[in-house]
């Protein structure tokens, strides 16, 4: 056995082959896990784009940012009955966040939490429909435009 360890011409290629086989096996198992387990599980969690207009069930009294353009509406995600709308504007994210922080402090909205940094997020409810959970996210897109995402979902079956 000691001779085997001294003769590097034998064990170095054997070790390299074992390492390559281990890497290939890991890649195969990882790909199989991703394809069979993770991808199907993620399909139920990822929101699906349903168009580029405001959905008819969006609260009509939600304040719209002046000059923002609707780029998509979403449904699903973590909560199957969740809905969302995405807008873009050329205005700075901090101006958009400040607009919504002020607008959502007024009736019929009630702010639960507001976090301005690193991505502006506001969690709030609707006073007349307290079973409706809402959130707003304001961030900068790679294009340089500001993205506004409003998400809303009923908290119970009674909410819609």
Length of the chain: 160
**Which CATH number covers residue 70?**
3.30.310
Q: What residues make up the domain containing 86? A: 47-159
Whether 8 and 26 share a structural domain: yes
94-115: pLDDT as tens digits:
999 999 999 999 989 989 999 9
Query: At 53, is the pLDDT very low, low, confident or very high (cuts 50, 70, 90)?
Result: confident
Instruction: Please report which confidence band the pLDDT of residue 92 belongs to, taking 50, 70 and 90 as the band edges.
Output: very high
Q: 96 and 59 share a domain?
A: yes
Q: Are 18 and 10 in contact (CB under 8 A)?
A: no
Same domain membership, residue 99 and residue 74 = yes
Tell me, yes or no, whether 106 and 124 share the same domain: yes
Nearest to 138 by CA among 122, 126, 123, 124: 122
* Residue 76 and residue 23 share a domain: no
Q: Are residues 85 and 151 in the same domain?
A: yes
How many domains does one find in the chain? 2
Token pair of 64 as six digits: 């719209």
The reported pLDDT for the residue numbered 45 is: 52
Per-residue pLDDT, 33? 61
Is there a single domain that holds both residue 26 and residue 80?
A: no
């Amino acid at each position: 056995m000691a001779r085997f360890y001294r003769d590097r011409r034998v064990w170095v290629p054997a070790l390299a082959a074992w390492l390559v086989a281990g890497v290939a096996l890991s890649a195969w198992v990882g790909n199989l896990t991703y394809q069979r387990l993770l991808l199907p599980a993620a399909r139920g969690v990822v929101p699906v784009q349903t168009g580029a207009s405001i959905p008819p069930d969006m609260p009509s009294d939600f304040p719209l940012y002046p000059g923002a353009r609707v780029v998509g509406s979403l449904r699903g995600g973590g909560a199957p009955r969740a809905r969302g709308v995405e807008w873009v504007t050329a205005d700075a994210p901090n101006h958009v966040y400040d607009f919504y922080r002020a607008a959502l402090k007024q009736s019929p909205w009630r702010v639960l939490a507001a976090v301005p940094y690193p991505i502006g997020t506001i969690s709030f409810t609707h006073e007349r429909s307290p079973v409706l959970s809402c959130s707003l996210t304001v961030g900068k897109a790679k294009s340089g435009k500001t993205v506004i995402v409003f998400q809303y979902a009923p908290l119970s079956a009674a909410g819609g």
